[in-house]
Amino acid sequence: MSVTIYHNPKCSKSRQTLELLEERGANPVIVEYLKTPPTASELKEILSQLGLAPRELMRKKEDKYNECRLDNPSLSDEDLINLMVEHPILIERPIVLANGKAAIGRPLEQALEIL
């Protein structure tokens, strides 16, 4: 089984989710998404697997969210996706992909549900 985690090593929840995956025998591919952000098409696929709209995957408390005025309801999904690609700090973390499904590791156990 192939498992991928979009990971931020500075984030405690991301570190805990990675540790939990490894404890369960997964050997995930680790994508440090701040260094290697997903492409727009990858992000669309992740959103589809999560069943979320782009705004639902955004970290609304990040300074960049306010700086970019992302609370503007006139921004399209395409606009929001492109902004997450440009500013990956806006993407909620961690995201785990496995078995054609995706989960956000908040709470941590959610990531195990797709294994």
Pairing of strands 95-98, 101-104: antiparallel
pLDDT for the residue numbered 98: 96
Backbone angles phi, psi at 59, to 5 degrees: -85, 100
Backbone angles phi, psi at 44, to 5 degrees: -60, -40
Which CATH number covers residue 6? 3.40.30
- Whether residue 83 is contained in a domain is answered as no
- Whether residue 3 is contained in a domain is answered as yes
Q: The whole model's pTM is what?
A: 0.93
pLDDT for the residue numbered 103: 97
Q: How confident is the model at residue 1 (pLDDT cuts 50, 70, 90)?
A: confident
| Domains held by the chain: number | 1
- Whether residue 48 is contained in a domain is answered as no
pLDDT value at 5 more than 80: yes
- Whether residue 110 is contained in a domain is answered as yes
Distances in whole angstroms, Cα of residue 85 to Cα of each of 24, 41, 99: 31, 10, 24
pLDDT for the residue numbered 30: 98
Q: Which domain holds residue 10?
A: 1-33+93-115
Q: What is the pLDDT of residues 39-77, one digit of tens each?
A: 999 999 999 999 999 999 999 999 999 999 999 999 999
Six token digits for residue 44: 């669309």
- Whether residue 50 is contained in a domain is answered as no
- Whether residue 55 is contained in a domain is answered as no
Looking up tokens 């941590």 gives 108
Six token digits for residue 81: 């996706």
- Whether residue 84 is contained in a domain is answered as no
Which residues on neighbouring strands pair with residue 96, listed in sequence order? 5, 103
Q: Tell me, what DSSP letter sits at residue 29?
A: E
- Whether residue 73 is contained in a domain is answered as no
* Whole-number average pLDDT of the chain: 96
Active site residues: 11
